Structure 1
C-alpha cells in the first residue's frame, strides 16, 4: 500500500488543501499590497502574519474536508472505482472548489470596501439579502463575475484531473485502518480548532491591518456568526475612553444619583426623594411587532385596538417612545438591560451575557421573584439561556431542559392541557396569559411579590389565532393578528380583575419593536415608534408623557413613580426629571442612531458619521451638519456601552 498521502484515496483532498492554502496566501499578499501604507510591516510582523494566516487557513481546510473525509472512511474498497463514487467525488470536490473560489472573490470585494476580513457586517448581509444582492448587481457585472468564478473552479478541477489526483484516489487500495487514522486525525484537529483556536488570537497586535491580514475570511465569518457582534472600537468613530465616560456620566447624571466607581463605569446609587416606597407586583407584557400606528391613540381610524386605546386613557401613556432596534431580542435587551444597542446582534444572543445587572436584579434586590414567560420554545434566539443565566425562572412551551442548557434557573414547560391554540411560533396570547395568571395565584398564596417578563407571539406571521374571537379570519392578515392581540389583552385584564392580587399589581404593555421594521438597512425613525403604557399604578392619575424617550427609560421612570432607591448600572433615565433632555437610540445591526430633539446622528462602520434633521410631521430626513458636542454625545453612549459589555462592566 502506498503511504504517500497524495497517492492514496485522500489524494484529491490533499490537492484541495494545497490549492486552498496557496490561493489564500496569494489573496493575503494582495491585501498587503492594497493596504501597504497602513500595515507598517517589519520582518517580525510579516512572519507573524504569515504564520497565523497559515494556521487559520489550515483550519478552514479542515472544516471543508471533514465531511468528505468521513465519506472516504466509510466507503468500502470495492466501491472505490464505482461510477457512483466517481460522480460523487467529482461533484463534491467541485463544490468545495467553487465555494472556496467564491469566498475569495467575496473577500476581495469586502476588503476593498472595509479593509477587513469578514465580520458581523458580512453576517448582517445575510439578513439584508435583497438590498445586498441589488447593491452588488448595481456595482459589479454580476453575471460575468459568477461565470468567472465557475470557470476558475472548473479550471482548478481540470488541474486536479490532468495531475491524476482523481485517478490516484480511485485506483488506490487504502486499507480501513489507514483511512481511520486519517479521518480520526482530521476530527481531532477540528476539535482542537473548535476548542482552542479562536479568531481573537489574530487580534492581539496593535496594528489593525496586521491583525486582519493574519485572519482567514471564512474562519472570521463563522467567528462573527458565533459571537454575534461587531467590534465597535475597530469600525466606529471613537473618543478617548476617559473622555467618552466623562461625557456619558454627565449625560446620565440626575438628582439623587451618586457614582460609586471611577472612572470607566456608570454604576451609581439612585436615591429616592423621600416618602413611602411602593412595592406592587409588576407584569410587563411585551407585544410582538406592535407599531404605535396600529392604535387609535396615534391616529389609526380602523378600530383595531379598542382595548388598548381605552386602556391608554386610564394609564401612564408614553406617547413618544422609540424602540432601540428592529428585532425581538433587541427589544428584550433594551427592556431588561436598559443600555443603548451595540453593533452586531443583541446581547441576548451573545456570549458572556451571564450575571448581568438587569432590571430583574433591581426587582430581586427588593425581594421580588422574577420570571420570564414565553409561549414558544425559549431555546429560540437564546432567550432561555439569557434570562435563565440572569436570575429569571423560565416558563415556556419548549422542550425539556437538556444537558446543553448551561443555566441553573427553574424551568417549567406549559402543558398540553393548558393549550387551546398553537402555531409554529407558540401558543396563543390567551393561553399564555392564563399561564401567567395561574403563576401569579401561586405566588400570591405564598406572599411572594413578583415581576414577570411576558413575551407574546400572536402578532407574528403567519398571523393565526383562535377562530371566532375577532371579526377578521385567522391567518388572513396582520390586521387580524393586531385585533386578536388587543382582544386577548382585554380578556387577560378581565380575569386578572377577579384576583385578590390585582389591586396591588402594575401592568405594563410595551412593544418589542415595530412591524415591518426588520430587514431595513437604513434608519427610518417612524419605524421605531412604539406604544408603551403603565396601567394600575398605585396613587397616580392617568396622564400622557409626551417626552421623546427610549425603551431603556421605561423602568427608571417607573421606579421614580414607586419612589425606589436602588443601585443602577443602566443608561435609562427618569423622563419626569426636570433636567431630562429628550433623546432616543434607534439602530440597525450596523448603523447606530442617536436622536436628540430634531437631530439624528448616525454612526456607521468605517468610522463614518452622518447627521440629519428629522421632521416628525412628514417623516422626512434632511442632511444637516450638527455640533461636535452632539456627535460626541452619540459616540460616548455607544462607545461606553460596548466597552462595558466587552470588559464585563455590565456584570452585577
Structure 2
C-alpha cells in the first residue's frame, strides 16, 4: 500500500503488515491493539483478585472466554466502519475515509482503555466491572464529580493521564495511515465486503444457538464478581445500556408465568405466612388488600422514617458488625428490633422503593426512576394522604438526584426539603449538608407540624455515610485512622441520630409519633456466592410513642415495614402492598425475604434459599445467619419446586404490576 518512511519506521512497518487488508486496515489495527490490551487488563484484574479467582478453579476458561468476549466487542466497534467502507473507501472519497477511519479507531481504543482503567476503582466500590451504575451516575455530574474528586482523586487523575497517553499513542500510531493511497479496486472492495460483514456478524453473535451471546452465557462461577472479570468493561456497560431499554419485561429473564398463576402463588405465599388479611383486588388492582389496623387508636400516630445511607449489619455490633453504632444499640432496647431484616437490593432507590412503596424488587431499575411509575403509583404518602396526612421528604443533598423529587412529588408527597433549604449549615460536603444539619432540620419541621396540629409522614434520607465519607470535626472519637472511612462516617451518623432522639424525646411530638430507623442497603455489597445474603442484612428499629419492646426474630424484608407501620400507627387502609403486617404474625414463623443482586434473584424462606438466574436452572442453598454463610445444596429440597414457583411469581409480579400500571390505590 505504501513505502515506510524512516522517521515513522515502527508505525509504518505495522501498517505494512496490515496492507493486505486494503481499506479495512484500520479495523485490523483495532483488533491488533484491542485484543492484547483487553487481555492484559483482564489478566491484571485476575491477579489482583487472585484469591477469589483461584477459588473458582477456572482461570484458563476465564482467559479463553475473555478473548471471545473481546472479539465480540471489537467486532461491534469495527462494524460501523465495515458497513461504510463500500461507500466511502472509493478513490473520490479516500481522503475522507482515511480521516474518519483513523479517528474512529483512536476513539474506540480510547473508550476501551478508559473503561478498563476505571474498572479497579469500580470493582473496589461495587464488586463488579462497570455496569448500569456507571451509566446512571453520569446523569448527575454535580454530585458525582465532587465525590470523585474528594474520594477518588488519585484514580481520577491517574485515569485521565493514562487515557490521555493512550489517545496520544494511538494518534502517533495511526499517523502513517493518512499517507496511504487506495490499493483496491471498487470490484474487489464490493466482492470482499459480504464475506467480511458475515464474519463480523458471526463474531458479534458468537453463538449458533437461537440466542446470541450475552453476559449470562459467561456466568461460569457462583462468584458474580469473578464472572464480570470474564467480560470487558465496554461490553459490560453496553449490555447495561441495552438492558435499560427493555426493563418493562426484565423479569422474563428467569422464565414466564401466566398472570393468574402469579396471583395463585401470591395467595399461596400469604397462606404459608398465615396472612389472613382479605385480598379484595380485581383486574384493576390485583393485589389490593383490605388491612384493618391491629392496634386501634382514637387518633392515628405520625410517622418518621429515617432511611440510613449504606448502614448495613456490618456496622452494628449486635448483628455481627463493628461497634460503631452505640446509639442504635441503646435504642434497640426501647422498641421493635429486627434481628433478620434484609434489604431488597444494593441501591438507595431500591431501598426507597421497598420502604416507601412496598414494591417488590425486579431486575429492572427501581420504580423511583421508571417512567410508568411517575404518576398514580402507590406510596405510603398516598395511602396516608387519604387519611389526612401531609407528607414531606427531607434530604441533605440535591433532591433531584436519582429522580427522587420527581417521584415523590408525583406520588403523594406535598413538600421536599433539600440542600437549598438549609441556612448556615454546620458542614457541607460532596453529597450536601451533614446528617447533623439534616436531623436538626427534621426536628425543626416536626415541631412546626405539631404546632399546626397536622398529622404527618416524614421521610428523612441521610447521606454522610457515602463516599468520600465527609463529616464535621470534633463530633466523635474516631474509630480508626484516617478520618474519611466508612466506619468513622457511620459512627458520626449514629452520633447525629442520638442527638436528634434526645431532642425528640423531650418534645411534644414524641408521644404522637412512630420513628423508624432502617438502612437503604449495606455498603459495598459483594461476595463469592450467587447472592451474598450476609451483605443484604440490615438493621431495622421501630420506636417512639407507646411502641413496646420486641425482638423480631422472623426473616423479614424491607417491603414488610410499610404494612406493619400502618397497623402500629392505627391506620386502616386498602393498599396494593404484598408485604406482611408483622403485628399479626406469631414469632415462630420462619418468614421470607427477597433480594435482587445484579441479575440474580434470591427468595429466602427461613434458612432455605432459592436463587433464580437468567438462562440457568434455579440454585438451592441453605443460609446460616449465625455464621453468615450460604451453602449451596447438592440437590433441591423436597419443596424446592414449590419454592421456585413462589420466587418466580414474586419477581414476575413486580414487572407485571409496573408494566400494566396496576400498583395504585382505588
Q: Give TM class, smaller chain.
A: 0.5 to 0.7
Match of 2:443 in 1: 437
The residue aligned with 2:636 is: 625
Moved more, 224-233 or 626-635: 224-233
Q: 2:611 aligns with which of 599, 602, 606?
A: 602
Instruction: Give the CA deviation at 1:349.
Output: 2.1
Match for residue 575 of structure 2 among 568, 589, 602? 568
User: 550, 553, 570: which is aligned to 2:557?
Assistant: 550
Match of 1:239 in 2: 257
Shift of 1:512: 0.6
Is 1:389 aligned to residue 407 of structure 2?
no
**CA gap 1:474/1:220 in 2 versus in 1, 3 angstroms:** closer
Task: Give ranges in structure 1 of 5+ residues lacking alignment.
Answer: 1-14, 20-56, 66-79, 103-120, 129-145, 166-207, 399-412
Q: Which residue of 1 aligns with 2:654?
A: 641
Equivalent residue number for residue 447 of structure 1: 453
Distance 2:237 2:624 in 1: 44
Distance in 2 separating the partners of 1:363 and 1:491: 28
Distance 1:244 1:260, change over 3 A: closer
SS in 2 for 1:594: strand
Q: 1-side partners of 2:294 and 2:356: how far apart?
A: 25
1:455–1:272 Cα change, 3 Å: closer
Change (3 A) 1:572 1:161: farther
Larger mean Cα displacement after TM superposition, 515-524 or 344-353: 515-524
SS of equivalent residue, structure 2 residue 450: helix
User: Which consecutive residues of structure 2, in runs of 5 or more, have no partner in the other structure?
Assistant: 1-22, 28-75, 85-92, 114-128, 137-165, 186-209, 215-234
CA contact (8 A) 2:102 2:174 kept: no
Q: Deviations over 1:417-454 (max 9, x none)?
A: 24110110111111001111222222223221110111
TM-score calculated relative to the size of structure 2: 0.64
**Correspondences of 1:411-490 after superposition (within 5 Å):** 413-415=420-422, 417-472=423-478, 475-490=483-498
Map residues 54-73 of structure 1 onto 2, 5 A cutoff. Answer: none
Which of 481, 501, 507 pairs up with 2:515? 507
Aligned length: 481
For residues 512-562 of structure 1, give each alpha carbon's deviation from its aligned partner in whole angstroms, at most 9, with x where no partner exists. Answer: 111221698831111011111111142x42111111110111121222223
Which of 590, 593, 596 aligns to 1:587? It is: 596
Distance in 2, Cα, partners of 1:597 & 1:385: 37
SS at match of 1:348: coil
Q: Aligned equivalents of 2:295 and 2:399: distance in 1?
A: 40
Kindly indicate whether the alpha-carbon contact (under 8 Å) linking 1:326 and 1:518 is maintained by their aligned counterparts in 2.
no
Residue 105 (structure 2) pairs with residue 94 (structure 1): yes
Contact 2:99 2:178 in 1 (8 A): no
Q: Distance in 1 between matches of 2:363 and 2:565?
A: 28
Per-residue CA deviation, residues 451-483 of structure 1 (Å, 9 max, x unaligned), is 011110111122221111001178332221121
Q: TM-score, normalised by structure 1?
A: 0.65
Q: Distance in 2 between matches of 1:158 and 1:240?
A: 60
Does 1:327 pair with 2:347?
A: yes
Q: 1:544 to 1:620 in 2, by over 3 A?
A: same
Distance in 2, Cα, partners of 1:305 & 1:436: 20
CA distance in structure 2 between the partners assigned to 1:387 and 1:228 by the alignment: 24
Asked if structure 1 preserves the Cα contact closer than 8 Å seen for 2:328 and 2:494, the reply is yes
Give the corresponding residue for 1:283. Answer: 304
Q: How does 1:204-219 map to 2 (within 5 A)?
A: none
Q: Conserved in 2, the CA contact under 8 Å of 1:244 and 1:640? A: yes
Q: Per-residue CA shift, 1:349-385, capped at 9, x if unaligned?
A: 2221222011222111211111111111122222112
Q: Aligned-residue CA RMSD in angstroms?
A: 4.3
Of residues 348, 356, 380, the one that matches 1:336 is 356
Q: 1:620 to 1:61 in 2, by over 3 A?
A: closer
CA distance in 2, matches of 1:274, 1:315: 15
Post-superposition CA distance 1:289-329 (Å, at most 9, x none): 112242233245x6422211111001111111011111111
Residues 163, 362 of structure 1: alpha-carbon distance in 2 compared, 3 angstrom cutoff: farther
Match of 1:34 in 2: none
1:607: Cα distance to partner? 5.0
